[in-house]
């Protein structure tokens, strides 16, 4: 295991499934190889959940749910506090585990703190689901009760595993559901490690089950499962469609889908160019561009285009590429061979359709799935690289003249997750906040993925439903009407 600074705190790697409070091997003995995207060596042989394992996890969650729901909010919250604390204490270990599996540089790792913040929030706020009451019908008192679904499945991607673990599991549990979480086959190690903290925090067996595996078998089994009563998914639009189809063909479980993006950033001539360049550089470079919100389409107004492009190029091109375990590195490899080759294919499309300004290849001095920060200029709007999610450190910069023109271009996409606008003109900022077709719009900043106090989710092909502290709780509650004759 690489450790450029000699401080790697990873000792043992957990590769088993966590079902009903116990760590178990897969029932059919099947494991899969997990490779380091830096060294390309096998770093772990991970147990792959079979259909039987997935069924057992759902059965354990189902058995545990009534007693969990019967606890008071304060009792449930007390477990959250312990779990948040344990994860916070192990931040460095979790950072190195993630660097090992998916290549995120430890210097940029924020996922464990985000996890703890979400669980802390629920424990401190002590949420109680609120129903309503009404005396509007003569002779009756009418009430609504908010009740948990039962078993909730959470299926998460590899790019920010612990943040999605927390954003799905904490609200589902807070209102009395139990959970089966399926981590991504590309980054299963931190979720498996957190399962140890779940046990240490004393959660009753079956309340949180953590399995890993591929879409086929475990992901598909969860999506079709008749005892899974709601499903929260973060991942690609392609998989989101399959999950919705599976839900429609099984028990019509509600599905909440947080999907891909092709986010525009619009830089007007009155913007603070330095800040705009810094925010957009962070937006497309963090996690080597493997971020759903990445502002991969930058539109810059003609009068300041040269100046902005120069500043942006300098910032984006100065990435320190290298060993993700080193604290000097801020740009790691792509997660795996599949992702790397996908990015390389888009680089060829970009070279054909647009003008390459910097990058466009892998750094020859590094082994591993690295891609240099890449900028294309003046790419036609109908090019595939302007329409499809690349998920790499690749940005297209196009020049515009008028507000009408840029708004139309920004919205000309099947995605609608995120957009940003940089201007000092308040009227213009509000006009774009209203006009941009995206679930989140940032003005003069790059939105932190850890802003939990507002709902997060997509317009159009970027998803269904919203996540966020209060919105997520609503996702996991049924509403029952009760009519009482008086
Ligand atoms: P993915 O869709 O390939 O996989 C996501 C998860 O779904 C994994 O756990 C995978 O094993 C599972 N899965 C795959 N096929 C399945 C099936 N048929 N049934 C059930 N589960 C299945 O996505 P990924 O490559 O892990 O993640 C990258 C994608 O996630 C990008 O498109 C990115 O934009 C998106 N994403 C969105 C958000 C958001 O909040 N909107 C956040 C992060 C990532």
Q: What is the pLDDT of residues 202-251, one digit of tens each?
A: 999 999 999 999 999 999 999 999 999 999 999 999 999 999 999 999 99
Q: In the prediction, which pLDDT does 3 show? A: 45
Half-sphere exposure of 396 toward its Cβ, with a 13 Å CA cutoff?
29
Nearest to 355 by CA among 320, 324, 395, 387: 395
- pLDDT digit string (tens) for 88-133? 999 999 999 999 999 999 999 999 999 999 999 888 765 677 889 9
State if residue 206 touches ligand 1 by the CB under 6 angstroms criterion: no
- 5-19, 44-58, 135-149, 336-350: which has the minimum mean pLDDT? 5-19
Nearest to 108 by CA among 280, 288, 248: 288
- Percent pLDDT > 70 in the chain is 97
Point out the catalytic residue in the list 14, 48, 98, 258: 258
d(C-alpha 243, C-alpha 225), whole Å: 11
Per-residue pLDDT for 5 more than 60? Answer: no
d(C-alpha 398, C-alpha 350), whole Å: 13
d(C-alpha 198, C-alpha 235), whole Å: 24
State if residue 185 touches ligand 1 by the CB under 6 angstroms criterion: yes
State if residue 336 touches ligand 1 by the CB under 6 angstroms criterion: no
Per-residue pLDDT for 308 more than 60? Answer: yes
Instruction: Give residue 415's region: left, alpha or beta (phi > 0; psi -120 to 50).
Output: beta
d(C-alpha 486, C-alpha 426), whole Å: 55
Q: In the prediction, which pLDDT does 1 show? A: 41
**Nearest atom (ligand 1) to Cα of 158:** 26
Per-residue pLDDT for 6 more than 80? Answer: no
Task: Find out whether 262 and 294 touch, Cβ atoms under 8 Å.
Answer: no
Torsion angle defined by CA atoms of residues 56, 184, 65 and 57, in that order, rounded to the nearest 10 degrees: 10
Annotation says 467 is catalytic: no
d(C-alpha 20, C-alpha 205), whole Å: 5
**Nearest atom (ligand 1) to Cα of 389:** 32
State if residue 290 touches ligand 1 by the CB under 6 angstroms criterion: no
State if residue 54 touches ligand 1 by the CB under 6 angstroms criterion: no
Nearest to 66 by CA among 131, 146, 151, 180: 151
The mean pLDDT of 62-76, rounded to a whole number, is 95
- pLDDT digit string (tens) for 326-351? 999 999 999 999 999 999 999 999 99
Per-residue pLDDT for 2 more than 50? Answer: no
Residues in the chain: 486
Among 228, 236, 346, 392, residue to substitute to test ligand 1 (most atoms within 8 Å of Cβ): 236
d(C-alpha 294, C-alpha 390), whole Å: 10
ipTM of the complex: 0.98
Nearest to 379 by CA among 356, 407, 359: 356
Per-residue pLDDT for 185 more than 70? Answer: yes
d(C-alpha 91, C-alpha 433), whole Å: 36
The mean pLDDT of 176-195, rounded to a whole number, is 98
Structural domains for the chain: 17-259+465-481 (3.40.605.10), 264-461 (3.40.309.10)
């Amino acid at each position: 295991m690489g450790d450029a600074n000699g401080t790697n705190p990873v000792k043992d790697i957990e590769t088993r499934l966590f079902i009903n409070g116990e760590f178990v091997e897969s029932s059919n003995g099947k494991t899969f190889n997990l490779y380091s995207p830096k060294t390309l060596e096998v770093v772990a042989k991970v147990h792959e959940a079979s259909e039987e394992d997935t069924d057992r996890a759902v059965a354990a969650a189902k058995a545990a749910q009534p007693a969990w729901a019967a606890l008071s909010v304060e009792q449930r919250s007390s477990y959250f506090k312990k779990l948040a604390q344990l994860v916070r204490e192990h931040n460095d270990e979790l950072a190195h585990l993630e660097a090992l599996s998916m290549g995120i540089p430890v210097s940029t790792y924020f996922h464990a703190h985000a996890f703890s913040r979400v669980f802390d929030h629920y424990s401190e706020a002590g949420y109680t689901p609120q129903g309503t009451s009404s005396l509007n019908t003569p002779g009756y008192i009418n009430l609504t009760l908010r009740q948990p679904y039962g078993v909730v499945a959470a299926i998460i991607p590899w790019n920010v595993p612990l943040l999605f673990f927390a954003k799905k599991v904490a609200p589902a549990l807070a209102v009395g559901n139990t959970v089966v979480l399926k981590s991504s086959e590309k980054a299963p190690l931190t979720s498996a490690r957190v399962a140890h903290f779940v046990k240490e925090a004393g959660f009753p067996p079956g309340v949180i089950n953590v399995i890993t595996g591929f879409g086929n078998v475990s992901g598909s089994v969860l999506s079709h499962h008749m005892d899974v009563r709601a499903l929260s998914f973060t991942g690609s639009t392609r998989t989101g469609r399959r999950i919705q189809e599976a839900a429609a063909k099984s028990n019509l479980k509600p599905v909440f889908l947080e999907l891909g993006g092709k986010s525009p950033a619009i830089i007007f001539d009155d913007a603070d160019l330095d800040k705009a360049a810094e925010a957009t550089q962070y937006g497309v470079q963090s996690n080597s561009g493997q971020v759903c919100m990445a502002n991969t389409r930058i539109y810059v107004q003609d009068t300041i285009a040269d100046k902005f492009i120069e500043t942006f190029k300098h910032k984006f091109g100065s990435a320190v590429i290298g060993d993700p375990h080193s604290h000097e590195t801020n740009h790691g490899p792509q997660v795996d061979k599949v992702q790397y080759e996908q990015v390389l294919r888009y680089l060829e499309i970009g070279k054909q359709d647009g003008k390459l300004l910097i990058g466009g290849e892998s750094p020859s001095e590094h082994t591993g799935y690295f891609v240099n920060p890449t900028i294309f200029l003046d790419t036609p709007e109908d090019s595939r690289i302007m329409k499809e999610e690349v998920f790499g450190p690749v940005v297209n910069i196009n020049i515009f003249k008028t507000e009408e023109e840029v708004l139309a271009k920004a919205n000309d996409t099947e995605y609608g997750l995120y957009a940003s606008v940089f201007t000092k003109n308040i009227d213009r900022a509000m006009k774009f906040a209203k006009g941009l077709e995206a679930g989140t719009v940032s003005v003069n900043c790059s939105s932190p993925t850890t802003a939990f106090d507002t709902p997060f989710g997509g317009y159009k092909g970027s998803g269904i439903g919203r996540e966020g502290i209060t919105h997520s709780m609503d996702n996991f509650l049924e509403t029952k009407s009760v009519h009482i004759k008086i």
